[in-house]
Amino acid sequence: MNVPFLDLKAHHAPIRDEIFDAISEVVNDSAFAGGKYVEKFEKEWAAYCGVGHAVGVSNGTESLSLILRALGIGTGDEVIVPAMTFVATAEAVSHVGATPVFVDIDPWTHTMDPSKLENVITERTRAIIPVHIFGQCADMNAIGEVAGSHKGLQLHVIEDAAQAHGAIYKGRKAGSLSYAASFSFYPGKNMGAWGEAGAATTSNPFLAAKIRLLREHGSAKKYHHEIVGFNARMDGIQAAVLSVKLKYLDINNDKRRAIAREYARLLSDPIAQLFAAGTYSSPAYHVYAHRVPNRDTVLAHMAAQGVTCGIHYPVPVHLQPAYAYLGYKAGAFPVAEACANEFLSLPMYPELTDAQLAHVVSSLKAGLS
């Protein structure tokens, strides 16, 4: 039996025609770059997340850097990010000229460890970017408390919610848990476009307006440029695709949650069982990462059984060559480094069948023994 890591074909089969119809409308209106379909999706996404504003942009890396720019963060500033994340979290900080400062993750949630923040806050710290890694929300209340205790610094907390569409933390949706949040709609994410797209969410109307200005060449009125901006608009076609996808997001996340509960039960994984129970939060399970000691052996065994797994992520960001200039050494962040060596991402998508799931678990168990 073959179990792919992700099956976008199966994901799109039932909604293909609906999406093609939506795209046709955009083509009929020639509303390709920004425009009314983007505005429509922005309203829907803001309402879904429970925030005042969503701004559709070209991708999730850009939405994060536009938020930082809109907050005036740049050269000489420091921004705290977790060591275990996709590189884009740190890249966005670099793009605005600021310095990423890494912090270890918590061994239970795999998100930024709030107890480690105090050690890395300096008078240059301007923002903290918790990442809802794998769709598991960071401990936003604890992080917010640390940020709030530094009154003189005006520390902004910004969620990187690129993997957390529809994830819930203490009754509230990812994207509404901080001053501003960034989403990616990269095709493989829980809510993926048919190309590249992203969005920033915030309930601050001034911040939203600033991000809008920045994404559109610094102009609110055509050919009148208030600031030096960028071209970071969302495509109308992507917005139309996303409006269709949004209708199915909760159903699909619930299927992911059911799969996660089943994995946790069959693998007797105490951490996974805790989160699958939904006590701390209700994750969106973008990735189901299981820690295994002998990963290479297990991966090879599972591949031989037709099961494709992923590794998110094999090298923590502080040890990437791109960030060597910051001088971090192996051993700096033991939890992130152990996870990088042991994380194995099991196939996780709403279309995964019961038989496939059983095959994943039996091949994993055989590989471990």
First to last CA, the chain: 21
At residue 161, what are phi and psi to the nearest 5 degrees?
Answer: -100, 25
Residue closer to ligand PLP by CB (options 232, 307) is 232
Binding-residue pattern over the window 127 to 166 for ligand PLP, x denoting contact by CB under 6 A: ----x----------------------------x-xx---
What CA–CA distance (Å, rounded) separates 139 from 82? 13
Residue pair 153/132 in contact (Cβ under 8 Å)? The answer is: no
What CA–CA distance (Å, rounded) separates 309 from 344? 7
What CA–CA distance (Å, rounded) separates 274 from 256? 16
Q: How far is the CB of 21 from ligand PLP (least distance, A)?
A: 25
Residue closer to ligand PLP by CB (options 186, 328) is 186
Q: How far is the CB of 94 from ligand PLP (least distance, A)?
A: 13
Residue closer to ligand PLP by CB (options 112, 302) is 112
Q: How far is the CB of 279 from ligand PLP (least distance, A)?
A: 24
What CA–CA distance (Å, rounded) separates 367 from 369? 6
Q: How far is the CB of 233 from ligand PLP (least distance, A)?
A: 14
Binding-residue pattern over the window 282 to 321 for ligand PLP, x denoting contact by CB under 6 A: ----------------------------------------
| One of 65, 89, 356, 363 touching ligand PLP (CB under 6 A) | 89
Q: Is 65 in the site for ligand PLP (CB under 6 A)?
A: no
Q: How far is the CB of 331 from ligand PLP (least distance, A)?
A: 24
Residue pair 309/340 in contact (Cβ under 8 Å)? The answer is: no
Site residues (CB under 6 A) for ligand PLP, limited to 218-247: none
State whether the Cα torsion 120-124-130-133 is positive or negative.
negative
| One of 3, 41, 48, 59 touching ligand PLP (CB under 6 A) | 59
- Please identify, among the stretches 86-94, 104-112, 140-148, 214-222, the one whose residues bind ligand PLP according to the rule CB under 6 A: 86-94
Residue closer to ligand PLP by CB (options 59, 282) is 59
- Please identify, among the stretches 85-93, 99-107, 144-152, 255-263, the one whose residues bind ligand PLP according to the rule CB under 6 A: 85-93
What CA–CA distance (Å, rounded) separates 319 from 329? 7
Residue pair 41/35 in contact (Cβ under 8 Å)? The answer is: no
Residue least distant from ligand PLP (Cβ): 60
Binding-residue pattern over the window 161 to 200 for ligand PLP, x denoting contact by CB under 6 A: -xx--------------------x-x-----------x--
Among candidates 270, 185, 198, which has minimal Cα distance to 233?
198
- Please identify, among the stretches 56-64, 100-108, 236-244, 313-321, the one whose residues bind ligand PLP according to the rule CB under 6 A: 56-64
Residue closer to ligand PLP by CB (options 176, 184) is 184
β 281-282/288-291 pair status: unpaired
Q: How far is the CB of 105 from ligand PLP (least distance, A)?
A: 13
Q: Which residues pair with 307 in a beta bridge?
A: 3
Q: How far is the CB of 24 from ligand PLP (least distance, A)?
A: 25
Q: How far is the CB of 80 from ligand PLP (least distance, A)?
A: 15
DSSP string, 158-214: EEE-TT-TT-EETTEETTSSSSEEEEE--TTSSS--SS--EEEEES-HHHHHHHHHH
Report how many residues bind ligand PLP under the rule CB under 6 A: 14
Assign 103 to helix, strand or coil: strand
Residue closer to ligand PLP by CB (options 139, 160) is 160
Q: How far is the CB of 353 from ligand PLP (least distance, A)?
A: 26
DSSP H helical segments within the chain, as ranges? 8-12, 16-29, 36-49, 60-70, 88-95, 117-120, 140-148, 205-215, 236-266, 270-276, 295-304, 334-342, 354-368
Among candidates 210, 194, 198, 188, which has minimal Cα distance to 286?
188
Residue 65 tokens, joined: 């850097």
Residues of this chain that interact with ligand PLP (CB under 6 A) are 59-61, 85-86, 88-89, 131, 160, 162-163, 184, 186, 198
